Chains A and B, each alone.
Chain A
Amino acid sequence: MMARAPLLSIENLSISLPTADGGRALAVRGVDIAIGEGEIVGLAGESGSGKTLSALAALGLLPSGATTGGRVMFDGRELMGEGGRGAAAVRGRDLAMVFQDPMTALHPMLSVGRQMTEHLVQHRRIGRAEADRIAIAMLDRVRIPNPKEAMARFPHQFSGGMRQRIAIASALAAGPRLLIADEPTTALDVTVQAGILRLIENLRRELKLSVLLITHDLGVMSALADRVYVMYAGRVVELGSRAAVLSRPRHPYARGLLDALPHGSPADHPLQALPGSPPSIGRFPAGCAFHPRCRFAEDICRADIPELLPVGEGHAIACPVDPLAAVMA
């Protein structure tokens, strides 16, 4: 899938967080993720799976008290790890992030123009007029009507969908090479979501932007991602091409998540609930963390943490039982 060295690679990342009782808990446990240039990589999983934390580690935005292991490389430079000095400049210029709630990224008291250009002037060292020109062009690109007038307005004067467009424009104004989008459409209505998904796809095509798309919504994943990683309890349990993971999932968890979603015709795909709920950080079950919810679990699943092993071209799962092998073959 990726011929050249990846633009971003997260290698053997682990993150531990302080717990309420003064101890520490591992929230991310040995995660490897690679993103190529112009590639959209999806990171799927339910709450507590560690998908957002993994992305925050790349950005250097982990909560205070978090400790990390492993390393994060960006275009040959170490962003996190032993040689991670000077990473802030790379992050500010080449990495950008869009959140679920655009108001977390937009300052409510600053005009759209002010917050977009301040960012530009700081990271690109250009004059105000030039910054204005770039910001207006970017607002136009994300289809904000009357971008010149929009510059003088404030975030609350826009609808939720428009705010997310502005947040994306703001994130992209400095010309980053990688956009990390954390549930960028989860708070939006489907018709607005459709517009944002099309926008991200266009930006990828036109700007060769790489995107790390974090979402629990496998429909959104299916619309955009080239490759998908499914996380559970701080580990990657399945990865592969979009088609492999979403139409032929091999890990029982990935399969269970899909079966719980309405898709296809109701007659062929009745809604099948996945029993139980995802474990919270600090309470990950031993062995394969999914085993208490897995109807295929065997003794080995309770004893050993399964390794990711290939099951096809670029397709790997962390499941020693691999109960779906026969069905999927």
Chain B
Amino acid sequence: MSLLEVRDLYVRYRGHSGAVVTAVAGCNIDVEEGQIVALVGESGCGKSSLGKAAVGLITPAGGSVTFDGTPVEPLGRKARPAPQRRLQMVFQDPFSSLNPRRPIGELIADGIRVAEGHGGKRRSVGECLERVGLSAGIADRFPHQFSGGQRQRIAIARALAADPRCIVADEPISALDASAQASIANLLVDLVADLKVGLLFISHDLSIVRRIADVTTVMYLGKIVERAPSEALWARPAHPYSRGLIGAITEPDGEGRLPDDLPGDVPDPAAPPPGCRFHPRCPIAIPRCAVEEPAFRQLMPGRMAACHLAETVLG
């Protein structure tokens, strides 16, 4: 059994016009101890909804989330059950996720009380700050006194203070300046290796994911379409959407190569296309793709994809 197990998860919202939008349509994800699993996809694919449901911030419409052997309960008015407090979340915007009126030492002390509550390892505020590369002497300062990158370090220190076993991080570096992105990415890799936590890293940026994640999961319009070891996915994608995403990435190499265009837009999730959801944009779709939804199947050990033509794509 994995540390974090998402099984056949559904998340639904009621849209503006009353139509029901299925943001997550039956997804499975596993995160093991000491492993970084990336969930990538474009805006509106449902990756954030999946992440929020995984930590109990929204109530799934179906399926289950299990953390460390116990089901994750959606957060209500009551305190979170002790075992679940070792599942922590880091958000995209370190400007809104830290209370501006409290010194950062207090914010981190909240996390330490969580660790005490579940009988976890108790770290001091100073230890937590130093662990994320900040000085222990800054605990009495307020969030606004820090840059975006430093604030994200503080948010990570707060999550660490709770002595987590698993962290779900939703776009934790995309709001940061380029120079800060690398340092936060490297910090997360270090922490996972050091503390043996599991990390579900949600991101739209496949090029950074390739650098840090052990396993990459690609999501399109509510469905997982491919899962593979990160470098293997990058080198030989099995799903045409993964291939399209990789081709669209620009490389800062000075060579002047224009990225490949993947025509069309992501369809309205309230009315997903029949058959394979990607077929209207797929450059290699065959008639079967418009009528029969492809199963998410194993292609070879460690490689899964939901495409009728995955073998052809792999080459």
Interface residues of A (CB under 8 A from B): 46-47, 159-162, 189-195, 197-198, 201, 216-224, 242-248, 256-264, 266, 271-278
Contacts and interface: CB of A to CB of B under 8 A. Distances in A.
Contacts, number: 141
Contact of A194 (B148, B182, B248, B255): B248
Interface string B102-136: 00000000000000000000000000000000000
Given A271-B211, A274-B182, A277-B147, 13 more contacts: A191-B248, A192-B265, A193-B259, A195-B263, A219-B252, A243-B254, A248-B254, A257-B178, A266-B210, A271-B182, A273-B186, A277-B180, A278-B177
Nearest to B246: A190
B233 to A, nearest CB: 13
Given A277-B148, A277-B149, A197 B250 contact: yes
Contact of B254 (A194, A197, A246, A278): A246
Contacts of A201: 258
Which 8 interchain pairs have the tightest Cβ spacing? A246-B254, A219-B250, A273-B183, A247-B254, A274-B179, A218-B252, A189-B42, A194-B259
Contacts of B250: 190, 193-194, 197, 217, 219-220, 222-223
Contact of B252 (A222, A272, A278): A222
B64 interface: no
B258 A191 contact: no
Interface of B: 42-43, 147-150, 177-183, 185-186, 204, 206-208, 210-211, 231, 244-245, 247-263, 265-266
A257 B266 CA distance: 32
SS class, residues of chain A in contact with chain B: helix
B248 A193 contact: yes
B148 A222 contact: no
Contacts of A162: 265
Given A194-B261, A266-B210, A221 B252 contact: yes
Nearest to A228: B254
A263 B42 contact: no
A216 B254 contact: no
